[in-house]
């Protein structure tokens, strides 16, 4: 086991399938057995194929590999990597550039011209437009490409939701380098400033007045001009969004769109509460717990708002991850994304009498296999995305055994690599790891997560300043 990777209390049958599907890890790329990639070459195989698009192949990809083995599905991957090098990671994935979705979609069409998959699933936000375009051109079930484009851009999404009559905060869009004095009269205070194209709350900062607004924009500018962000070449990074801060509690809805009828219907899978107050100045998420403790009336209002938002955005097929703020004024859509929940958070979800993982449910859906009636387990469950307390070199974690001993904790995964630099929010976007809990009630699951986290001790060392060889900037 590599340093920095810690696995505990896996379901025995699931772990067995995972080992059958995975032969190793290189960096954060997963090396999958050749049979998981047979769809690329075995044209006569009658097995159903599914293509998964992901910026990188990591922990979530392993879950899909294990589920594909269980379901006898041929799994292929398309990832964001250099197309000039022939299969550098040995995983058989198609090399794609998601910042050019039309070109990436054409590459997928060319690759699968004679034997297309049954469906294409996107992991994360970046591949969603590519997945929609490729599905359209291959005649596969999927979302309209325009709907995916609107969801990918926070400003376009706000405009579409406002036009549909949903609760949308006052907002203003502007280029990062526009003189701020020129737009100050358009900014609603208190406000939240964010890039139009990033995700995971990266670069999201609250500002209660002009001085905080100026400071927030300068900080976001520096982030957007960093080599790590510039390499993404995303056109949405050329605009910032400032919107009125919405008080209230935050929730996240996981769902699937059923497009069998004339109009797609949203099937709810889980409603998560986010019990930590997300009031700023930064918005690093931490705990998700399900089932929700909101009243049935509020939960129904959240679901109805999600249905209206999906219709307004034009989404038709696939997983939906939707986030909302709830207050006395009603339900405010924060983000509607045509993808599933990110990272390892999906491990908090199990379905049906056999407690199948979320990845298996998604593959069943994508491959046209039976998935209706597989409801989330009755037990409460929760996940903590372990927050980054400060930026620095991650040296080690202590007291893992103590944290594992907390009643209700089912698994702890430390995903940050030892001696790597880890950035705290708002510059950061990667967590130190994940804690998972199951209990009789949501309150007990939340308490277990908090108690286990309180026992962990993370050790960091400062990073020496270095000058980037390309940009010349010092970090």
Domain of 222, in residue numbers: 170-244
The pLDDT, as a whole number, for residue 24 is: 31
- Whether the per-residue pLDDT at 21 is higher than 70: the answer is no
Last residue of a domain, one of 244, 263, 294: 244
pLDDT tens column, 83-141 = 444 444 445 789 999 989 999 999 999 999 999 999 999 999 999 999 999 999 999 99
Residue 210, domain CATH: 3.30.1490.20
- 127 shares its domain with 217: no
Does residue 268 belong to any structural domain of this protein? no
- 114 shares its domain with 210: no
Does residue 320 belong to any structural domain of this protein? no
Last residue of a domain, one of 244, 274, 306: 244
- 87 shares its domain with 175: no
Does residue 289 belong to any structural domain of this protein? no
Residue 408, domain CATH: 3.30.470.20
- Whether the per-residue pLDDT at 8 is higher than 70: the answer is no
Counting beta carbons within 10 angstroms of the beta carbon of residue 253, is it exposed (0 to 12), middle (13 to 18) or buried (19 or more)?
Answer: buried
- 114 shares its domain with 182: no
Buried b (16+ CB within 10 A) or exposed e, 303-327: bebbbbbbebbbbbbbbbbbbbbbe
Does residue 192 belong to any structural domain of this protein? yes
pLDDT (average), residues 452-466 = 90
pLDDT tens column, 150-208 = 999 999 999 999 999 999 999 999 998 899 999 999 999 999 999 987 877 899 999 99
- 138 shares its domain with 174: no
Phi, psi (deg, nearest 5) at residue 147 = -65, -40
Does residue 280 belong to any structural domain of this protein? no
> Out of 9-13, 127-131, 134-138, 406-410, which region has the weakest mean confidence (pLDDT)?
9-13
Where residue 92 falls (left for φ over 0; alpha for ψ -120 to 50; beta otherwise) is left
The pLDDT, as a whole number, for residue 16 is: 37
- 129 shares its domain with 200: no
Does residue 458 belong to any structural domain of this protein? yes
- 175 shares its domain with 139: no
Residues above pLDDT 90, as percent of the chain: 71
pLDDT (average), residues 317-328 = 97
Under DSSP, the state recorded for 347 is: G
**Contact present, 131 and 122 (Cβ < 8 Å):** yes
Residue bearing the bigger pLDDT, 403 or 236: 403
Contacts of 392 (CB under 8 A, 6+ apart): 421, 422, 460, 461, 462, 463
- 18 shares its domain with 66: yes
Does residue 327 belong to any structural domain of this protein? no
pLDDT tens column, 364-397 = 999 999 888 899 999 999 999 999 999 999 999 9
Q: Residue 78: which of 39, 21, 22 has the closest Cα?
A: 39
Split into its structural domains, the chain has a count of 3
Q: Which two tokens stand for residue 187?
A: 């900014």
Residue 26, domain CATH: 3.40.50.20
- 127 shares its domain with 183: no
- 410 shares its domain with 459: yes
Rounded Cα distance between 436 and 278, Å, is 21
Last residue of a domain, one of 224, 244, 264: 244
CA angle 208, 211, 216 (to 5 degrees): 75
Q: How confident is the model at residue 34 (pLDDT cuts 50, 70, 90)?
A: very low
The pLDDT, as a whole number, for residue 14 is: 35
Buried b (16+ CB within 10 A) or exposed e, 88-124: ebebbbbbbebbebeebbebbeebbeeebbbbbbbbb
Count Cα neighbours of 287 within 13 Å in the Cβ-side half-sphere. Answer: 25
- 120 shares its domain with 222: no
Does residue 81 belong to any structural domain of this protein? yes
> Out of 35-39, 63-67, 129-133, 169-173, which region has the weakest mean confidence (pLDDT)?
35-39
- 29 shares its domain with 131: yes
């Amino acid at each position: 086991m590599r340093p920095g990777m810690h696995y505990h209390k896996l379901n025995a049958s699931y772990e067995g399938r995972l080992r059958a599907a995975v032969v190793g890890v290189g960096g954060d790329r997963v090396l999958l057995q050749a049979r998981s990639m047979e769809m690329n070459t075995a044209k006569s195989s009658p097995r159903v194929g599914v293509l998964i698009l992901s910026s990188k192949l990591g922990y979530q990809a392993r879950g899909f590999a294990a589920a594909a083995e269980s379901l006898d599905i041929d799994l292929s991957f398309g990832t964001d990597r250099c197309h000039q090098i022939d299969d550098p990671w040995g995983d058989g994935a198609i090399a794609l550039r998601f910042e050019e979705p039309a070109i990436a979609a054409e590459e997928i069409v060319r690759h699968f011209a004679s034997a297309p998959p049954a469906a294409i699933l996107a992991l994360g936000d970046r591949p969603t437009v590519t997945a929609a375009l490729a599905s359209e051109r291959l005649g596969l079930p999927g979302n309209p490409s325009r709907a995916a484009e609107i969801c990918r851009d926070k400003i376009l999404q706000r405009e579409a939701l406002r036009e549909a009559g949903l609760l949308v905060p006052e907002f203003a869009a502007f280029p990062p380098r526009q003189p701020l004095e020129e737009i100050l009269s358009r900014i609603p205070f208190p406000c939240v400033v964010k890039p139009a194209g990033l995700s995971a709350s990266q670069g999201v900062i609250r500002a209660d007045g002009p001085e905080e607004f100026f400071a927030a924009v300068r900080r976001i500018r520096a982030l957007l001009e960093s080599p790590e962000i510039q390499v993404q070449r995303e056109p949405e990074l050329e605009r910032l969004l400032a919107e009125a801060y919405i008080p209230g509690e935050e929730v996240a809805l996981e769902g699937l769109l059923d497009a069998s009828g004339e109009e797609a219907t949203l099937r709810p899978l889980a409603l998560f509460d986010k019990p930590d107050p997300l009031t700023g100045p930064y918005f690093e998420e931490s705990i998700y717990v399900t089932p929700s403790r909101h009243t049935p009336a509020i939960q129904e209002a959240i679901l109805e708002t999600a249905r209206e938002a999906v219709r307004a955005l034009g989404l038709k097929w696939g997983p939906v991850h939707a986030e909302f703020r709830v207050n006395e004024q009603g339900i405010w859509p924060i983000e509607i994304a045509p993808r599933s929940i990110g990272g390892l958070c999906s491990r908090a979800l199990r379905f049906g009498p056999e407690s199948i993982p979320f990845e298996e449910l998604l593959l069943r859906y994508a491959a046209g296999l039976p998935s209706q009636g597989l409801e989330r387990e009755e037990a409460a469950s929760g996940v903590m995305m372990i927050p980054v307390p400060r930026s620095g070199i991650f040296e080690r974690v202590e007291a893992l055994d103590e944290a594992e001993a907390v009643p209700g904790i089912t698994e702890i995964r430390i995903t940050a690599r030892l001696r790597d630099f880890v950035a705290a929010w708002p510059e950061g976007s990667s967590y130190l790891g994940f804690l998972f809990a199951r209990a009789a009630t949501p309150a007990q699951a939340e308490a277990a997560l908090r108690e286990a986290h309180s026992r962990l001790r993370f050790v960091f060392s400062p990073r020496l300043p270095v000058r980037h060889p390309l940009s010349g900037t010092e970090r």
